[in-house]
Amino acid sequence: MVDQDVFSAEAVPGRTGMSGVSKVILGLGLGCGFLLLLACGGMFLIFYAVKNSVVQDPAAIREMSDEIVTIALPDELKPKMGMNMNFGFGGFSMVMYGSDDNKDSLAICQVAGASTKEARDQMRMQMEMSMSQQAKKEAITVESTDKHEVEIHGEPGHFNIIAGKTPAGEDVRQVEGDFLGAKGPAVLMFRGRGEKYDADTLRKMLDSMK
């Protein structure tokens, strides 16, 4: 199993602690990836591959990210964690970026070797369901949803840019979407502060994907 401190919100010496936002995105990413891995290879492969799959070196995380999709990220979003599980015929990879204060987080996940439309539809359904459940749990009021399409690796990627407010009245922005990664279906999930990430900034980030 993955070390427990990877999922802890408490800072660990030599490591950066994750906020609630980061843990939410991590959980959503793992949920999407594990759903497809169960469909593609069986549960035993997951337990076999999780051990020693976590990467925390910034350069290695950026390299893993480029192996999924090229994307121009704001300077505030820095590499936080990566996970790479290989099975020979395919695998699951995920990278996470975040701000220094952990209030803004982004995750990109890919399931290599699962290129069927059914697999991509499963990933989209899992992501949308998880994001909806989390919004209800945190009582986030969704104010608007802007659909945005980007051509990535020769196929359209579909994204939703969501504006909302927390119960305390803070502006939040979320991005959720699926696309074709370099080696298989992939998803991108982002959550951050509205005052730092308006719709134009997020569209520019999405448009850089290739």
**pLDDT tens profile 142-201:** 999 999 999 999 999 999 999 999 888 999 999 989 899 998 888 899 999 999 999 999
Q: What is the pLDDT of residue 44?
A: 46
Q: Has residue 29 got a pLDDT over 80?
A: no
Q: Is there a contact between 60 and 46 (Cβ–Cβ < 8 Å)?
A: no
Q: Has residue 132 got a pLDDT over 50?
A: yes
CA distances, 98 to each of 17, 43, 168 (Å) = 11, 30, 22
Average pLDDT score over residue span 121-134: 67
Q: What is the pLDDT of residue 185?
A: 87
Residue percentage of the chain with pLDDT more than 70:
62
Q: Is there a contact between 180 and 154 (Cβ–Cβ < 8 Å)?
A: yes
Q: What is the pLDDT of residue 135?
A: 61
Residue that is written with structure tokens 């015929």 in the block:
89
Whole-number average pLDDT of the chain:
77
Q: What is the pLDDT of residue 21?
A: 54
- CA distance between the termini of the chain: 33
List the strands of the sheet with 54-55, edge to edge: 54-55, 78-86, 91-98, 105-112, 185-193, 171-180, 155-165, 141-152
Q: What is the pLDDT of residue 202?
A: 97
Name the token pair of 126.
């899992």
CA distance 108 to 14: 24
User: Would you place residue 134 in the very low, low, confident or very high pLDDT band (cuts 50, 70, 90)?
Assistant: low
Name the DSSP letter for residue 36: H
Q: Is there a contact between 69 and 186 (Cβ–Cβ < 8 Å)?
A: yes
Q: Has residue 141 got a pLDDT over 80?
A: yes
